[in-house]
Structure 1
Amino acid sequence: MTREDAIWLIAGAIVTLFVLLPLATLAFIAAEPATAVWQHLLSTVLPEALATTALLMAGVGAITLFVGVGTAWLVTMCRFPGRRIFDWALLIPLAVPTYIIAFSYVELLDFTGPAQTALRTVFGFRTPREYWFPEIRSLGGAIFVMGFVLYPYVYLTTRATFLLQSASALDVSRTLGAGPLRLFFRVALPLARPAIAVGLSLAMMECLNDIGAVTFFGVKTLTFSVYDTWVNRSSLAGAAQLACTMLVIVFALLWAERHARRHQRFHVATTRHAGLPSYSLTGARAAGAWFACALPIVLGFLLPSWQLLQYVSRRLDDLTDPALLSATFNSLSLALSAAILTAAVGLVLTYANRVSRQPTVRLFGRIASIGYAVPGTVLAVGILIPMAALDNAIDSTMKSLFGVATGLLIVGSGAALVYAYVVRFLAVSYGQIESGLAKITPNLDMAARTLGRTSLRTLIEVHLPLIRPVLLSAILLAFVDCMKELPATILLRPFNFETLATSVYNAASREVFADGAIPALLIVLVGLVPVILLARTSAATYRDRTSRRASRN
């Protein structure tokens, strides 16, 4: 191993240790003797939380699977009015955090909301006992809302697979007499199972991570129980033990996703991908396809956005509120700092793998990417203890040497929150940058080294200019994820420190929903940028691939 290989190996090891530190701390805290607390949680909190979480994930999984796969097939294989718009518009709900959708639907469907008010006006009802209306603050309400927000994870991965399927395989199936339904269930769906498993596991992990929506709906999941045990019961050991239970579920999801596609190896023996056979829909079938694609967009984006705009139009004076400006500045500064740091760390990991090509470095990348699967509440529990201990060590050292008290330098400044963001979203930038570097031929590295460039100078002079668009995309995606993140932000933010996300959460907790409308709308507007970019990028990538393959044929 050369000296440069050793340097990159050490860099990858340091990053991996920082990612694993919260998980190791969590396991250490959970191992502390807290028998009385754990027995209480085991007999009262854990069974209900496990059952509720399982039901929530099952319900959300069913909705995301049905909506995501169904709409992906319609926009890929069918021709009907509006299909080109639906192709990218079906991704838009991904821009809106689940807690903002929950915030909006509580206002829309609650007793004082416009839906029930209109119902009472039309039929002359005076009290809620005189009519039946579904209760939005319930497990069913949480399943409904989260399902129509998270389905784009399944839609995106499944749509990509359907777009790249072999036209020859579909033509052969048609020749053998397979109709549209049989073609879907017997050919396309089995080939898309790995992609569906990936999208579904992502949706399930986001569902498990959520704390805002479940709090608004009064649903006591494991995430809520961790927060409640830590903050309201003042039991960090009990919260850590519950968090470890969540980690077991997360790793089970990851194992199930891998296991579901362990024997699936599908290879296309032809380059003919352009011109997929399609079904032209007319009349009632076209109307049905249009309605099936429009409904998720209406429920997952348009209705909640309309409710937010109604509140915002009546609270325009709040745009100059110092508290809102402060929360906006805090969100932007934290998210931008974390996004740049996340991209830098992701670049170190990916380039270390490219330079050294050691199996150990590749393993470091996979371990570092696991943070995305760890819920924010779990990270918060694992980060607070070592950061607080480091703060105390710095404070005591500064007092003894210089007589200066630094206090909570790391936790109090928001650095611990940036740390949580980097660990949580490192996988986003790592995947983006890895795909960008993979497109650069190794011949450029060899040529640069022949001209006397070190690996670091090769990175600066050759690779960075070539992957600049990918790097900017990684920063943008991480930035928006940090802007939306709520669980870790609630638990790790400094005292009297508000962000846009916590402003929305606090307003909903106080039942003053109008106060959180402007912060919520700002988060939505920021989230639209990467979603539109993602839709355009995926469409352009497919057009580029199919045009190249068509030209070769």
Structure 2
Amino acid sequence: MIAVLLAALSGNLDVLRHLAETVLWDYTRTTIFLVLLVGAGTLIIGTGTAWLVTMTRFPGARLFEITLVLPLAFPAYVLAYAYTHVLDHPGIVQSTLRDVTGWGPRDYWFPEIRSVGGAAIMLTLVLYPYVYLLARAAFLQQSGGAFLAARSLGSSAWAAFFKISLPMARPAIAGGVLLAIMETIADFGTVAYFGVQTFATGIYASWISFDNRGSAAQLALCLLAFALLLAVLERTQRGSAKFHTNTKRQARLLPIRLTGLRAVGAFVFCAVPVILGFALPVVILIDMGVGSEQNLFSARYLHFIQNSLTLASIAAVLTVLAAVTVGYFQRLVPGRASAIAGYAARLGYAVPGGVIAVGIMVPIAGFDNALDAWMRKTFDISTGLLISGTIWVLIAAYLVRFIAAALNAYEGGQSTLHVNMDAASRSLGETRFGTLRRVHLPILRPSLLTALLIVFVDVMKELPATLIMRPFDYDTLAVQAYRLASDERLSGAAVPSLVIVAVGLLPVILLCLRVGRQPQG
């Protein structure tokens, strides 16, 4: 962040002034509109489906507990490729419509997939699982006492949900929506493919088209300010609202059995995002990939898979450990310093991966060059690029990029732990670290598993930072898909994209099974 700030302060203002006179307002307006659409969509879909599969029973509810998370394994830009292939003018949908009706290209109106609305739909379909996962974990950790008390006082199930369960789960839900919004303002692949002008595309335009890194860093600072504003507004609006559960087994809440039209409505509400966000794109991508020249079982592709799994696993573990450190520090030492630490940790999620990559590479490359020069002068030994050429620099970029995801998941669960639990543990002789290890972490296992899953899948899908910072000849599935798509070989790009989805399915399913076994009520 310091490197990006220094680049912004030392950059030439001519390009930024030109952008301000031409397209900067369009960047701002489109970004805000996209944020509002995706935020509302992920909130409604994620929270609604989490409540239905957790607190009600209807045909297919158990299956939806797992399938609702499956779109999380999809990169938004892959979803954009799939739906553009089907819904664009030469796609099968419009071609069939013209063949059946005999209409010409100007005889009918069809929704334009390459638009702000289309980008919002793509992002919503792949980002709502953030809200779903965190909301479901929060619902599972709630005691049923307050909900049952509201029902006994005459409230309907829906009234009790809006008055009791929803406010109690608010920290987790707000964290999930904030993750989705930050991912939206940092997205580049989807909006660039659809031709939607946002701050992210403006940053890359300044970086690549104008070859002005200072101007790109200045736009990145605008994005940082927006991310900080979102975090401050969310925390301010949340205020000091808290809830505490004295015991996890205070009252077991039996799921509500839905019948008739209510059961049908619940089924449709849960089925639509699964079909549009996972099932249909998989079918489209398989159809695109059939007949391509990509061999999944070749040594080359097995190497791509191994590299992707290695990076994702290491980055997920280290990022969650860092999030626990920051989150527990905020609990132990509440105040301005810990609040600033929490805000700073979240900023990376709103910055495009390429900007973070350069912000890390510049100082580390400078250190490597300075060390090499000193070793040459002192000992006549060349150390070369000692740090820059390793995967650890890339993992550091992942940590900066995705610690907000892990931190929000951890804090969503930590907010349910009463402070008296810490006092009781300390009075029994436990240290602060012992309280974290023996009290907090076992209780927060669903939230930690959620954090691990989110970071793992996000690293599998991350593209810009991987392209810039990967060691020589250390390609991943995302890099391979990007190369093929850049060459307009979308059929070939569908193959590594499907592998990314397939690899992400196992941790998704395992997480859902583990969370589903946690005690309710």
SS at match of 1:85: helix
Q: 2:253 aligns with which of 248, 263, 275?
A: 275
What do residues 81-104 of structure 1 show as CA deviations (whole Å, max 9, x unaligned)?
111211232122122222222222
- Please report how far the alpha carbon of residue 204 of structure 1 lies from its aligned counterpart in structure 2 after TM superposition: 0.6
**Secondary structure at 1:318 match in 2:** coil
Instruction: Map 1:276-355 to 2 at 5 A.
Output: 276=254, 278-282=256-260, 284-315=261-292, 317-319=294-296, 324-339=301-316, 341-342=318-319, 349=325
User: How big is the shift at 1:57?
Assistant: 0.8
2:16 maps to amino acid: W
Name the % identity: 41
CA deviation string 1:443-472 (max 9, x = no partner): 89969x9xxxxx99x99x999xx99x9999
Please, which runs of 5 or more residues in structure 2 have no aligned partner?
Answer: none
Whether 1:370 and 2:355 are equivalent positions in the alignment is: no
SS in 2 for 1:319: coil
Equivalent pair of 1:328/1:499 in contact (CA under 8 Å): yes
1:147 partnered with 2:127 = no
Amino acid at match of 2:4: L
Distance 2:362 2:378 in 1: 24
Question: Is the contact between residue 342 and residue 422 of structure 1 (CA under 8 Å) also seen in structure 2?
Answer: yes
The Cα of 1:246 is off from its aligned counterpart by 0.5
SS at match of 2:467: helix
State the match for 2:222 in structure 1. Answer: 245
Check if 1:48 corresponds to 2:26: yes
Look up the SS of the partner of 2:262 in the other structure.
helix
Partner of 1:11: none
Describe the SS at the equivalent of 2:113.
Answer: coil
Equivalents in 1 of 2:307, 2:205: separation in Å? 25
Task: Quote the Cα distance in structure 1 between the aligned partners of 2:32 and 2:491.
Answer: 32
CA deviation vs aligned residue, 1:197-226 (integer Å, no higher than 9, x gap)? 222111111112211111221112111211
User: Displacement, 1:372?
Assistant: 5.3
Other-structure match for 1:229: 206
Identify the residue that residue 95 of structure 1 maps to in structure 2.
Answer: 73
Contact 1:318 1:324 in 2 (8 A): yes
Shifted more, 136-145 versus 383-392: the winner is 383-392
8 Å Cα contact 2:478/2:496 also seen in 1: yes
Contact 1:77 1:277 (8 Å CA) reproduced? yes
**1:415-430 correspondence runs (5 A):** 415-426=392-403
Q: 1:82 — aligned with what?
A: 60
Which structure 1 residue ranges, 5 or more long, are not aligned?
A: 1-22, 450-454, 547-553
Which residue matches 1:516?
493
Q: Which amino acid aligns with 1:290?
A: F
- 1:491–1:246 distance in 2 versus 1, CA, 3 Å: farther
2:8: which partner in 1?
30
Instruction: Say if 2:74 and 2:500, in contact at 8 Å, map to a contact too.
Output: yes
Deviations 1:302-344 (A, max 9, x none): 1111112223332365325666455444434443454465467
Counterpart CA distance in 2 for 1:462 and 1:87 is 29
Distance 2:382 2:209 in 1: 30
Residue type at the aligned position of 1:262: G
Q: CA deviation at 1:188?
A: 3.9
Judge which range, 417-426 or 260-269, deviates more: 260-269
Please say if 1:490 is aligned against 2:467: yes
Specify the alignment match of 2:194 in structure 1.
217
TM-score normalized with structure 1 length: 0.78
Q: C-alpha displacement at 1:478, in angstroms? A: 4.1
CA distance, structure 2, for counterparts of residue 248 and residue 309 of structure 1: 41
Contact conserved, 1:68 with 1:153, CA < 8 A, in 2? yes
CA contact (8 A) 2:179 2:404 kept: no
Report how many residues are paired: 507
Within 2, Cα distance between the matches of 1:351 and 1:62?
Answer: 27
- TM-score w.r.t. the length of structure 2 is 0.83
Q: In the aligned structure 2, how far is the partner of 1:55 from the partner of 1:423?
A: 26
- Structure 2 vs 1, CA of residues 395 and 71 (structure 1 numbering), >3 Å: closer, same or farther? same
Rounded to whole Å, the distance in 1 between the matches of 2:67 and 2:105 is: 37
RMSD between aligned alpha carbons?
Answer: 4.0
CA contact (8 A) 1:338 1:421 kept: yes
Aligned to 1:59: 37
Amino acid aligned to 1:103: Y
Specify the alignment match of 1:12 in structure 2: none
Shifted more, 43-52 versus 234-243: the winner is 43-52
Q: Which residue of 1 aligns with 2:48?
A: 70
Deviations 1:37-69 (A, max 9, x none): 221222224211111111111111121122122
Look up the equivalent residue of 1:194 and give its one-letter code. P
Q: Is the 8 A contact 1:79 1:279 kept in 2?
A: yes
Distance between the aligned counterparts of 2:286 and 2:251, measured in 1? 43
Q: How does 1:76-225 map to 2 (within 5 A)?
A: 76-125=54-103, 127-165=104-142, 167-225=144-202
By how many angstroms is 1:384 displaced? 2.7
How much does 1:148 deviate? 1.4
* TM-aligned CA deviation for residue 492 of structure 1: 3.3
Computing the radius of gyration from Cα coordinates, the structure with the larger value is: 1
